[in-house]
């Protein structure tokens, strides 16, 4: 029996898809990708937190000023398998991005049209050598 406070990944995928958020799922049912770029659908805080608590994510593409990504910087930083983080047009900040410096597998970081400063981007480029940073 699944506890409502700890939903099954399939439930999270179904709820995201019902909002118009595209998802990618492995053959074994693990959530690998969430992407709202086409619809700009904004998951509620609870659903966003549940999705970001799944440590299987490889690609997160979330656009839109209504996304409280700064509140979830710690969860983003826990995504050790993350390869793509595209948070264009969000309010993500320098402080939140500082928490992501250790994500060694991150290949692409898109922070275009966000609150991130040029100074933060320059500093990240020095420490995140293998990451393409767009900002």
Three-class secondary structure assignment of the chain: CCCCCCCCHHHHHHHHHHHCCEEEECCCCCEEEEECCCCCCCCCHHHHHHHHCCCCCCEEECCCCCCCHHHHHHHHHCCCCCCEEECCCCCCCHHHHHCCCCCCCCCEEECCCCCCCHHHHHHHHHHCCCCEEEC
pLDDT confidence of residue 44: 93
Flag whether 2 is in a domain.
no
pLDDT confidence of residue 45: 94
Low pLDDT (below 50) residues in the chain = 1-4
Flag whether 4 is in a domain.
no
pLDDT confidence of residue 66: 86
pLDDT confidence of residue 8: 87
Flag whether 82 is in a domain.
yes
- What CATH number is associated with residue 66? 3.80.10.10
pLDDT confidence of residue 3: 43
Q: What is the mean pLDDT of the chain?
A: 92
Q: How many domains, the chain?
A: 1
Handedness of CA 28, 30, 32, 37 (dihedral sign): positive
Flag whether 130 is in a domain.
yes
Residue 130's domain comprises: 9-134
Rounded to 5 degrees, φ, ψ at 74 are -65, -40
Flag whether 30 is in a domain.
yes
pLDDT confidence of residue 56: 94
pLDDT confidence of residue 1: 40
pTM summary value: 0.92
């Amino acid at each position: 029996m699944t506890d409502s406070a700890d939903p099954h990944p399939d439930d999270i995928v179904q709820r995201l898809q019902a909002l118009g958020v595209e998802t990618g799922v492995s053959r074994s049912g693990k959530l690998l990708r969430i992407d709202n770029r086409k619809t700009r659908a904004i998951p509620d805080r609870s659903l966003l937190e549940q999705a970001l608590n799944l440590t299987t994510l490889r690609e997160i593409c979330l656009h839109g000023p209504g996304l409280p990504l700064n509140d979830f910087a710690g969860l983003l930083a826990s995504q050790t398998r993350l390869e793509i983080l595209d948070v264009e047009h969000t309010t993500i900040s320098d402080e939140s991005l500082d928490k992501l410096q250790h994500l060694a597998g991150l290949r692409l970081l898109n922070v275009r049209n966000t609150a991130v400063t040029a100074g933060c981007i320059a500093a990240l480029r020095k420490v995140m050598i293998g990451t393409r940073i767009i900002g």
